[in-house]
Chains A and B, each alone.
Chain A
Amino acid sequence: MNEQMSGKLTAAALARVFLRNGAFTFGGGDATTASLQRELVANRGWLSEQQFGACYAVSRVTPGTNLLAFCTAAGWTLLGWRGALSGLLLASIPGAAVLMLMTGFYRAAISNPWLASAIHAALAAAVGVMLAAVWTLLRAPLRRTPARAAIVAVPALLLSVYGLASPLEVLALAAGFGLLAPNREIA
């Protein structure tokens, strides 16, 4: 276990993770969730994959912005109300401040080639963040039960890419599969 993985969970450490991701992750809620999955699950081991899955599912059935519901749920899971408020506020305030500033100067902001070039590059990196999150989430199930992983992930991907089901419906189908066909490896 490296130094990052052994990092102790404290309110300040969790706040730093939410603040950094809220302030610097471009690409929308999915990219930020992917980035948080990396920091909270893969790098630091504060959340188990099961806890991540529960928070992710809850964020999808909570009205409003999925990312903020995820941060609230993850923060609550880790540190109760203190963590929930930390996640909700610190993941949203930096972006809100940047957005208000940019709205105030939006004509200049949109046409500035330096800013546009930096944002385009950050959005390209966000694609990498999301692909890496997919890999880290699927790596263990693919090793443990590859057929089961394929049975769940491939239809979920196709249904979503082709717009045949909403994310909520995809998660409901996966939950139904998990309920009706228990995974003996973990159950």
Chain B
Amino acid sequence: MSVGLLYLLLLKATLISFSGLASLPVVRDDLVLQYGVLSDGQLNAAVALARASPGPFGGYVISVGYFVGGVPGGIAGWLALITPALLAVPLVHYVARRAGHPRARSVVDAIVMASAALILAATVPIAMQALGNATLVVIAVASTLVLAATTLDTVWVMAAAAATGLLAAWLSMPL
């Protein structure tokens, strides 16, 4: 399969989805069932790897591209991932031009509150999956308290948590 066709197929999948893994059925249909250039095992591995990497879960299309076409395929996957995001510019431009209107401000105020609720809802499945033992719960609680009480950058909290994980592995107690 050419890198160009791979890009177009992955772009089709990302363009018709509105969240990270929603494109999965389209990717499977095209690359596993129709073209036979990807196995189900590789698709599962791509999803698992994206979950274990920084960035969006939708980045699994980069792994998929790599499995199908090596580094050029991975780059095609990355391009398919970022292309739809450019559509956000005209949308936010449109919203910003109306931001001063009182009703528009009221709408955005309600959206801010709803977005907080959506982030909280998204936290639930991640917490259920990520907090498998007491040490991990302590890390999550400590991170919450530090971030809520200070202006420390998130990156330092992530780095401290990862260092704790390495220390636990060094003490033969991997998390």
Contacts and interface: CB of A to CB of B under 8 A. Distances in A.
Contact count band on A: 35 or more
Interface of B: 14-20, 45-46, 48-59, 62-63, 66-67, 71, 74, 77-78, 81-89, 91-93, 95-96, 99, 102-103, 105-124, 126-127, 129-132, 136-137, 139-148, 151, 153-155, 157-166, 168-170, 174-175
B14 A25 contact: no
B57 A29 contact: yes
A39 B157 CA distance: 13
Interface of A: 2, 4-5, 20-35, 38-39, 42-43, 49-73, 76-77, 81, 84, 88-89, 91-96, 98-100, 102-104, 106, 109-110, 113-114, 116-138, 141, 148-149, 152-154, 156-157, 160-161, 166-168, 170-171, 173-175, 177-179, 181-183, 186-187
Nearest to B94: A58
Given A72-B88, A187-B105, A177 B166 contact: no
Interface of B: prevailing SS: helix
16 contacts: A30-B126, A33-B119, A35-B154, A62-B85, A68-B81, A68-B82, A77-B96, A84-B89, A96-B55, A98-B54, A99-B74, A100-B71, A106-B45, A126-B126, A128-B147, A186-B109
Contacts of A76: 88-89, 92-93
